Amino acid sequence: MSGDKPLSRFHQPIAVPGRRLLHHIKLGFVRKKVVGGGGRSLNQEVPLIPFIDFLLCIVLFLLASFSATGELPLDKNVKLPNAENVIDMVEAPMVAVTGTQILVDGVPAGNTRQIEDAHEKRIQRIDELFQMLKAKRELWRTLKPDKPFPGVVILQVSKEVPALVVKSVFQTAALAGYPNVSFMVGRLGEEEGK
């Protein structure tokens, strides 16, 4: 038989191609090392457990700081002063004094011009504000007849508003049945204040 004669490339049997690179290295274990066999697997596991732990921490923090009452309605024209010794906000009627206008929960309730332009500079009751606050108090009492009325009102007053106007609004609120008046302020950091 012509076993010595190699078959032409058109007559060779079909075989699964094997590794050809560096096949001339005789020693198997050397060849394996040279071609990079036995190395680290390239598959990578994504560490999901720490990722879930991290997400859970964020969720818990956000849930703890979540406020169901929504954003505090702050009039954009009001420039609030800052203070250090403050307490947290509560839900209460909001009276904003900006420029010459007075707003109760965003609804106009008179203006300060009558106080500032008066010949005699003295504290005055602001009738429109008084009526609106009184109506709010009566509505609260109708809706919650079994609960004591807290009498809290929050004033948003711009930095530059004179004390005469502040005292007039303060007194009007007290006369309308809101003796616990709070002033809305920015929270001044303790380290900033020192």
Partner 1 sequence: MAGIDTGGGHGGKRALNQEVPLIPFIDFLLCLVMFLLVTAVWSQMARINANAQVPGPPQDEPLEKQEKPKTLHVEARGDRKFQLIWKEGSTVINTIDVERKKVNVGNDYRYPDLAAKIKSEWEANGTHRNKTDPKLDQAVLSTDNSTPFADVIAVIDAIYTPKREMTMGNTTELVPAFNVSFSMN
Q: How far is the CB of 85 from partner 1 (least distance, A)?
A: 4
Residues facing residue 97 across a β-bridge: 102, 157
In the block, residue with structure tokens 């839900």: 91
Please state, in angstroms and rounded to a whole number, the distance separating the CA atoms of residues 171 and 123.
Answer: 8
Q: Which residues contact 161 (CB under 8 A, 6 or more apart)?
A: 97, 112
Least separation in angstroms between CB 164 and partner 1: 4
Beta strands 152-157 and 107-111, pairing class: unpaired
Restricted to residues 54-73, the positions that interact with partner 1 (CB under 8 A) are 55-56, 58-59, 62-63, 65-67, 70-72
Binding piece for partner 1, criterion CB under 8 A, among 9-17, 125-133, 139-147, 161-169:
161-169
Residues 109-138 that bind partner 1 (CB under 8 A): 121, 123
Residue 15: exposure state from Cβ atoms within 10 A (0-12, 13-18, ≥19): exposed
What's the min distance (Å) between Cβ of 56 and partner 1?
7
Instruction: Report if residue 47 touches partner 1, rule: CB under 8 A.
Output: no
The string of DSSP codes covering 72-86 is ----TT----EESS-
To partner 1, the closest distance from the beta carbon of 117 in angstroms equals 13
What is the DSSP code (8-state) at residue 160?
A: T
Q: Which stretches of the chain bind partner 1, using CB under 8 A?
A: 48-49, 51-52, 55-56, 58-59, 62-63, 65-67, 70-72, 74, 80-90, 121, 123, 154, 157-164, 166-167, 170-171, 173-174, 178-188, 192-193
